[in-house]
Chain A
Amino acid sequence: MGRHESIKLKDSTKIKDALDQAREAAQELHGRISDAAAKRGGAAKADLESISQKAKATVESVKASMGAQHEATKKHLTDAVTNLEAAHKHAAEGLKSSGQAFETKIRQTLADARAGVDEISEAIAAKRSAQSKKK
């Protein structure tokens, strides 16, 4: 992420599970894309290369977190994977485009990543809600 000082990482005392890690990966992906959107020309394209790879890695992270989750949580994570795969696809297409088409791809990538983060957060909310009802 280009401006690390602007995003505060969570305090590290909590043990993060796979779902937390997937969410952090997706949040970082969104941050990188929004930073890239502020750049122009070659600099933005260079960022998009790493964004495409990061999107792919985030998809794997979400898939790895799906193991022992409830059905409601899994549904959100499945939707997150769909959104993040779309982010990967649009970032890859952006690498082959230029001008207005390139800007459109960045915006699509950002929107896909945002939707992906939201689905992971929904999955976490569903999990926390289920756990609080058990207490």
Chain B
Amino acid sequence: MRNYIAVVFDNSSKAYEALHALWQLDHEDEITVHGTAVVHRDNLGQFQVDTKETHPALATAVGVGIGALLGALAGPAGAAIGAGGGAAAGAAAGGVSGLVADAARSDARHQAGAETGFVLGDGQSALIADVSEDWTTPIDDKMRSLGGTVYRRARSAVEGDVWYDEGYYPYGYYLYPYEYVPPYARYYDY
């Protein structure tokens, strides 16, 4: 079964440890990982998605996609605004260009923060992933051992949401299809 998961941790180093552990489960053939990203919410409630430095248009697209995914994981109320609010959530990624895009959408950021707050609290980090799993035990056990809380939603359920826009690529396409750790990741903790 193909699922979207969000695993919430109290700090970013644990989220990166979980990122590696998830890809290791893939390597052991326990699950298949289609894409991953690490997101943070600082103590002021602002989101950041760890991405490569990239073109501003791509940064915004990633923000919209991952923001929509965060909204979908948050449930109906979150998903209704996730795509719009997500532009800010992800546009804060990595580069200066992203921060400009973020500033232009500060109203949407506030809204996204309110709607997805129960998934990712202030000061927390989360591993977001698109996975195929025959059973949930491998991920649940591994993430629990790392201190994470797993939220899970079937991809088919997300695509069945009335607000799901088929004009988008599948939300998971905005996640990295390999284990990406930004060079600056070791320099911060939330």
Contacts and interface: CB of A to CB of B under 8 A. Distances in A.
Interface of A: 3, 5-8, 10-11, 14, 26-27, 30-31, 34-35, 37-38, 103, 106-107, 110-111, 114-115, 117-118, 121-122, 124-125, 128-129, 131-132
Contacts of A10: 23, 27
A90 B6 CA distance: 33
A6 B32 contact: no
Contact of A124 (B32, B57, B172, B183): B32
Given A34-B54, A114-B169, A128-B32, 18 more contacts: A6-B52, A7-B178, A8-B20, A26-B177, A30-B178, A35-B52, A38-B54, A107-B55, A111-B173, A117-B177, A118-B173, A118-B177, A121-B33, A121-B132, A122-B32, A122-B132, A128-B132, A132-B134
Contact of B27 (A14, A34, A35, A125): A14
B64 to A, nearest CB: 14
Nearest to A20: B27
6 contacts: A6-B181, A7-B180, A27-B178, A34-B54, A107-B55, A129-B132
A3 B176 CA distance: 14
Given A8-B179, A30-B177, A37-B54, A125 B23 contact: no
Contacts of A131: 29
A39 to B, nearest CB: 9
Nearest to B28: A14
B134 A129 contact: yes
B55 A37 contact: yes
B32 A7 contact: no
Interface in B19-60: 20, 23-24, 27, 29, 32-35, 52-55, 57-58
A125 B132 contact: yes
Contacts of A26: 177
A107 B58 contact: yes
Given A121-B34, A128-B29, A107 B57 contact: yes
A37 B177 CA distance: 16
A31 B34 CA distance: 14
A6 B180 contact: yes
Give the 4 A-B CB pairs with smallest separation, nearest first: A125-B132, A125-B32, A117-B177, A27-B178
A11 B32 CA distance: 16
Interface in B127-145: 132, 134
Nearest to A44: B55
B177 A114 contact: yes
A121 B170 CA distance: 15
A121 B179 CA distance: 14
Q: By CB atoms of chain A within 10 A, which of B23, B35, B55 has the most?
A: B55
